[in-house]
Amino acid sequence: MKRILIFGSSVALVLAFANTPEAKNVTNGTSASGSLHEITLPRGTVLPVTLDTPIGSDISHVEQPVQGHLRHAVMHNGVEVLPAGAGVSGYVTSARRPGRVKGRGYVAVRFTGVTVPGEGRERISTSAIGREAPATKGKDAIEILAPAAGGAVVGGLVGGKKGAAEGAVIGGAAGTGYVLATRGKDVRVNKGAPLAVKLNAPATLSVR
């Protein structure tokens, strides 16, 4: 009889515990202290990304996958939403080589996912961030003027003022031809480069 009473009491205790929030959390694979809740990072939140995939106007192509990680944690209202080191992923949105007549190298990237520890990859949406090669107008002018000056010297020795003028025209034409046949500078963003990427839409993430 005592055994029956003890067994019945044990069953009652088990059933009672099964209906508690703690038991439900254990069943779901989380403890009460480690339960998940959602936090929404607002649009405009800056993600401090360190680039892990080098990109460039001469080495990248549109839709090429790009990887990076967070340099430090992202906080919201005093709560850590994303830890330092969390991986981010995205793709190249633009890769434009400089032209021979005008234009500068340009490359841009945006990020679409972040890896949340214990939860896997979550979707995000950031604005594209790009880099453009520096202008080369001053360099082009030097490359044109230098041959022109050399032509003027030679022309002056041969035919006086008239020869100097003709030599400058010929030399300038040669310099212009050189510039037109040479591409401008490409742009590279190397591995380890720090980027400040903004969310262009709110991102709701699960946080423990």
Which residue type sits at 134?
A: P
Residue 17, pLDDT > 70, answer no
Q: How far apart are the first and last CA of the chain?
A: 47
**Which amino acid would we find at residue 78?**
G
- What is the pLDDT confidence band of residue 119, given thresholds at 50, 70 and 90? confident
Following CA atoms 144, 149, 155, 160 in sequence, which dihedral angle do they give, to the nearest 10 degrees? 140
* Res 114 pLDDT > 60: yes
Distance between CA atoms of residues 74 and 86, nearest Å: 10
- Tokens 């067994």 belong to 7
**In this predicted model, what pLDDT tens digit does every residue of 120-164 receive, in sequence order?**
899 999 999 999 998 765 554 444 455 555 444 444 555 555 555
The residue type of 170 is I
Q: Are 119 and 110 in contact, with CB atoms under 8 Å apart?
A: no
Percentage of residues of the chain with pLDDT beyond 90: 48
183: pLDDT confidence band, cut at 50, 70 and 90?
low
Q: In the numeric block, which tokens belong to residue 61?
A: 């192509």
CB proximity list for 70: less than 8 A, separation 6 or greater: 47, 48, 49, 50, 82, 83, 84, 85, 86, 88, 114
Rounded Cα–Cα distance for residues 58 and 49 (Å): 22
pTM equals 0.63
Which of 133 and 99 is assigned the larger pLDDT? 133
**Which residue is listed with tokens 């192509």?**
61
d(Cα 152, Cα 163) in Å, to the nearest integer?
Answer: 7
